[in-house]
Amino acid sequence: MAFATTFEQEFTIGNLRLVSGTYTSDGGSTGGNIQFDNTETVFHLHLQPKGSTVVSDQPAVNETLPLAASDDAEGDTVTKRTEVTIVTKANEVGTFFAIVQ
């Protein structure tokens, strides 16, 4: 089916933000994009799959970090948007945290 993320917490540290949440790839999906709105740069992204056993394939960030924001879409209300592509096992659920600006 799809890849989805949910943002759960955000903390300000000086001029940086630490954001955390969950990701889900279901229906055979093997990853997708985590979209950070109002973000100029993603400096670090940590992925942690959930489970009760050892994970055979660690999820991966499929980008070179730090990653700068893409151009704004016309008519978009978000001033800056950075999308980070991640690769996961099929039907994986996990948590993430990112350091962004």
d(CA 28, CA 73): 30
Q: What is the Rg, in whole angstroms, of the alpha carbon atoms belonging to the chain? A: 14
* pLDDT confidence of residue 65: 94
pTM: 0.85
* pLDDT confidence of residue 16: 97
Class of the CATH-defined domain 3-100: mainly beta
* pLDDT confidence of residue 70: 75
Q: How far is CA 23 from CA 33, 72, 76, 99, in A?
A: 10, 24, 24, 16
Closest CA to 67 of 37, 98, 40: 40
* pLDDT confidence of residue 32: 93
d(CA 71, CA 14): 25
d(CA 26, CA 35): 18
d(CA 43, CA 73): 22
Mean pLDDT by 10 residues, the chain (101 residues): 91 96 91 92 95 82 91 61 91 95 95
